Amino acid sequence: MGRKSYKALIVVFCCLVSCVKDKPAVNNIPASSNIGNVYVVCEGRFGNGEATLYTYNRTTDSAFGDLYKSVNNQQLGDVFQSMTKIGGDFFLCVNNSDKVVVLNAATLVYAGMISVPKPRYILDISPTKAYVSSEYHNKVYVFNPQTLQVTDSITFPYQNTEGMCLYNNTAFICAWDTTCNSIFKVDVNTDQVIQTIQVAGYAPQEALLDKEQTLWVLSGAVLSFDPYDGRPCAWTRIDPSSGDMLASYHFTAEENVVHPVFNNTKDTLYFIEANQSPFPGNNGIYRMGIHDGALPSQPFVAPLTNQYFWALGIDPVNAHIYVGDPKGFVQRGSVYVFKQDGTAIDTFNVGIGPGHFYFDQ
């Protein structure tokens, strides 16, 4: 799909940025300092085995990494996609290594591994059940977080299972396939698809719930150097009980939208938008209220010269906004921290390709 080609655009056209303050990495850190941190998922360059895990301590204003290698004396793998905490363990999806690595959350010591083809994201269902989506495959794999065993799989009519969202006893599953214009509602007790729901646009990739428990689905895919060789992005707001479409918002074919998150009150949606024509130019963080009648026309936080935003997260503890700049995926990336009003408050360096954040509370 479009992930690797979109990153190629960044590599080709992104300029090197000026230096930022480089907070020290350490060989090891006390186990107690692993609790309640902000974790930075650094993808690394595809095919190079450079995935790294960094952390940022809110209290001491310090960044640490490469944590997995420091603690376990080995490389994490190739393309670190996402991170989820279930019980007392962290589950790390290492996409191109076809594995989910399990770490003790308090010590970051390796606790096991689950073999899954091209894992993307994990959805925590219960203490004994979780789902993991799979790139290039038409399945979501079911595993037991306690035994670390894959117990089942759910088959869909499209490839590239991607974002997932839990609502009561059902899960909504996206398939980021350019021929797909639906999401799938799954009964998590039976692991059966019980409803197919049409969305605006094609290639649904993310599903999130707002404060009113309505579902927001981001669809679209920018596939190559030609921005029209893909599917324009769109938002669809859906009643998760009935599957009825409540609203839809359509982007131009030139705009690529990635990594949406809700604020802590779940009444405002944040996302990164990039204009892909004729080249990847200025991009920024956009935000819109859940009852807004139109898409925002101006970024809430615009990048500085030579900044390029790729990762986005909002801290549930203090509502600070974290943004990752991969610097073309050719060198160490940077993370910028903003207050809720958009004021910049901090910057620190991380590994190659910061792509996601996990906020431990």
Compute, in degrees rounded to 10, the torsion defined by CA atoms 174, 283, 211, 244.
-40
pLDDT reported for residue 279: 53
pLDDT reported for residue 308: 86
User: How far, in Å, CA of 55 to CA of 62, rounded?
Assistant: 8
Q: List the chain residues with pLDDT less than 50.
A: 1-2, 4-6, 8-28, 30-32, 224-228
Q: Which residues contact 228 (CB under 8 A, 6 or more apart)?
A: 253
Cβ proximity of 116 and 134 under 8 Å: yes
User: How far, in Å, CA of 334 to CA of 20, rounded?
Assistant: 8
Q: What is the pLDDT of residues 314-327, one digit of tens each?
A: 999 999 999 999 99
pLDDT reported for residue 25: 42
Selection from 128, 132, 33, 34 nearest residue 81 by Cα: 132
Cβ–Cβ contacts within 10 Å for residue 305, how many? 8
Q: What is the pLDDT of residues 89-120, one digit of tens each?
A: 999 999 999 999 999 999 999 999 999 999 99
Amino acid identity of 166?
Answer: L
User: Domains in the chain, ordered, with CATH?
Assistant: 1-76+311-361 (no CATH), 79-155 (2.40.10.480), 161-302 (2.130.10.10)
User: How far, in Å, CA of 51 to CA of 41, rounded?
Assistant: 8
pLDDT reported for residue 226: 47
The most distant pair of C-alpha atoms in the chain lies apart, rounded to whole Å, by: 53
pLDDT reported for residue 8: 43
**Apex 341 CA angle, 337 and 347, nearest 5:** 15
pLDDT reported for residue 221: 81
pLDDT reported for residue 254: 81
User: How far, in Å, CA of 79 to CA of 353, rounded?
Assistant: 9
Question: In three state form, how does the secondary structure of the chain look?
Answer: CCHHHHHHHHHHHCCCCCCCCCCCCCCCCCHHHHCCCEEEEECCCCCCCCCEEEEEECCCCEEECCHHHHHHCCCCCCCEEEEEEECCEEEEEEHHHCEEEEEECCCCCEEEEEECCCEEEEEEEECCEEEEEECCCCEEEEEECCCCEEEEEEECCCCCEEEEEEECCEEEEEECCCCCCEEEEEECCCCEEEEEEECCCCCEEEEEECCCCCEEEEEEECCCCCCCCCEEEEEEEECCCCCCEEEEEECCCCEEEEEEEECCCCCEEEEEEEECCCCCCCEEEEEEECCCCCCCCCCCECCCCCCCCCEEEECCCCCCEEEEECHHHCCEEEEEEECCCCCEEEEEEEEECEEEEEECC
pLDDT reported for residue 281: 58
pLDDT reported for residue 229: 58
